Amino acid sequence: MPTVLVTGCAGFIGSHLCQRLLADGFRVLGLDNFDPFYDRGLKERNLRTLLAQPRFTFRELDLRAGAAALETAWPDPTDTPDVVVHLAAKAGVGPSVQQPLAYLDNNVLATGHLLEWLRQRGVGRLLFASSSSVYGNTRRLPFNEDEQLQQACISPYATTKLAGEELTYTYHHLYRLNVLNARFFTVYGPRQRPDLAIHKFARLLRTGQPIPVYGDGSTARDYTFVADTVDGVVRGVRYLLAHDGVYETVNLGNNRPVPLLELIQAVATAVGVEARLQFEPMQAGDVDVTFADIRKAQQLLGYAPQTSLADGLRQFVEWLDAQGE
């Protein structure tokens, strides 16, 4: 069975992906730098079940250390991955507005180091985790992968993700790297980062605090349950393994934007309390709507999200209960 290297393996999506890959019989190499954006203990908890698996190997590593550090981490040629899934990145649109250079360092420079290691090591397949934020406030809905995105990005985070896509194209063009860029759309579910809206809303609701509403509540996001996103990624891994000469970009979304006020009501229903709202000005860098055109992912990968918002929120709240939150 092929070997997959997952960067950012201890995070929300990364830990779910590793779990799924192991269940499907893959051998998995995982790396993470435990970026302090949120509590290291949460990521270590995500890793526990993975570390017990004999086909999983973990290294703590910061990609900013360069290609040589990756070579030191996995010097054995038998540890050369067949595919790399690059999830590692400094996350969050809002914080990137305050720390743009940190995002360039972690998301662009680090990606360059990884790509250079792939070239030197002879690894020929990469799935790069991009973001719906690259579309900015593009007016054509739903967002299509063919959209021209010059001057579309309105946050440093979005800019770094689009820069990552440009880097992957360069390595495809020059060094024949097979690439699938997967643009994620607001992933949620068990293990979601504590700073993200659904997790934050549930916590506030349970403690009787008001929910901050930025703008008039009409902004909308294409919320995608983590198992559906992971299924798309695994399908992408299998696609890369089966094809050569690949350079593709796909949306992994749910194809249904949910307005903010509707989301708050859905989270309140899942938690079982009434929501109190506190209206605030729009935040810098936030886009008005995200809406994935998923036809290409359906045709190319057989991608078909299955989880309704209500069911996904139910599973998320059950996970919160199990964590004692």
Active site residues per annotation? 157
Cα angle 271, 307, 48 (rounded to 5 degrees) comes to 75
Task: At 39, list the tokens.
Answer: 């509590």
Name the residue with tokens 């290691």.
117
Nearest C-alpha neighbor of 4 from the set 12, 13, 20: 20
Q: Are 178 and 125 in contact (CB under 8 A)?
A: yes
The C-alpha atoms of residue 85 and residue 79 are separated, in whole angstroms, by 15
Count the Cβ atoms, other than its own, within 10 Å of residue 175.
13
Task: At 96, list the tokens.
Answer: 């990137």
The C-alpha atoms of residue 101 and residue 157 are separated, in whole angstroms, by 10
Task: At 86, list the tokens.
Answer: 């690059």
Task: At 49, list the tokens.
Answer: 């079940």
The C-alpha atoms of residue 204 and residue 198 are separated, in whole angstroms, by 10
Nearest C-alpha neighbor of 189 from the set 225, 222, 228: 225
